[in-house]
Structure 1
Amino acid sequence: MNITTEIHGNAATLTPRGDIDYQHLDLLRATLHQLPPTVTDVAWDLRDTPFVDVAALHLLSTPSDPQRATSLTNLQPQHRRLLDIACELFPDADFDRYRPGEHQAA
């Protein structure tokens, strides 16, 4: 997996290339934790991520320090389906905030 990081002021866009699964979860988390503390908004651009499994949900649940607003962009149908299932199974986890057209990212 390759992850491109773009930082613009207080916002960062992380673009993973490859599947998001448990094999790559540590690398994804490390990339997130390496962001400067001035970054308060993180967007995961999934345009080059053909498949995500439950590891993506764990990534979204990773506590960040400092707290950062997180969003997802360029979701593919499989990504949306995983979020739909997560919202149904874990309504208190607030995964619906990552679905397009739902709540603002937090």
Structure 2
Amino acid sequence: MNITTEIRGTAATLTPRGDIDFQHLDQLRATLHRLPPSVTNVAWDLRDAPFVDVAGLDLLSTPSDPQRATSLTNLQPQHRRLLTIACELFPDARFDRYLNTPGAHQAA
């Protein structure tokens, strides 16, 4: 997996290329943890991630710096389906916040 990191001020966009699964979870976490402390907003751009399994949910559920907001962009139908099921099964996890953000529009 290749992950592009773009930092602009206090915002970072992480763009993984490839499937987000348990095989790549450590690499995804390491990329997240390498961000400088000045980054307070992280957007995962999923345009080049054709498949996300429960490892993606695990990544979103991993405790991180409470001062760092996380969002998802360029959700594809499979990503939306996974998040919708997660919302139904785990309502207290608040996965719905990733479905209802302005940047979560569907990839073209």
Question: TM-score under structure 1 normalisation?
Answer: 0.92
Instruction: Name the residue aligned to 1:10.
Output: 10
Amino acid at match of 1:40: T
User: Among the aligned pairs, what percent are the same residue?
Assistant: 84
The Cα of 1:67 is off from its aligned counterpart by 3.0
Q: Cα gap change, 1:89/1:45 in structure 2, threshold over 3 Å: closer, same or farther? A: same
Amino acid at match of 2:39: V
- Structure 1 residue runs of 5 or longer lacking an equivalent are none
Question: What are the residue-to-residue correspondences of 1:1-106 with 2, within 5 Å?
Answer: 1-65=1-65, 67-101=67-101
The Cα of 1:63 is off from its aligned counterpart by 1.4
Figure out how many residues of one structure are paired with residues of the other and give that number.
Answer: 102
| RMSD of equivalent CA atoms | 1.2
Question: TM-score under structure 2 normalisation?
Answer: 0.91
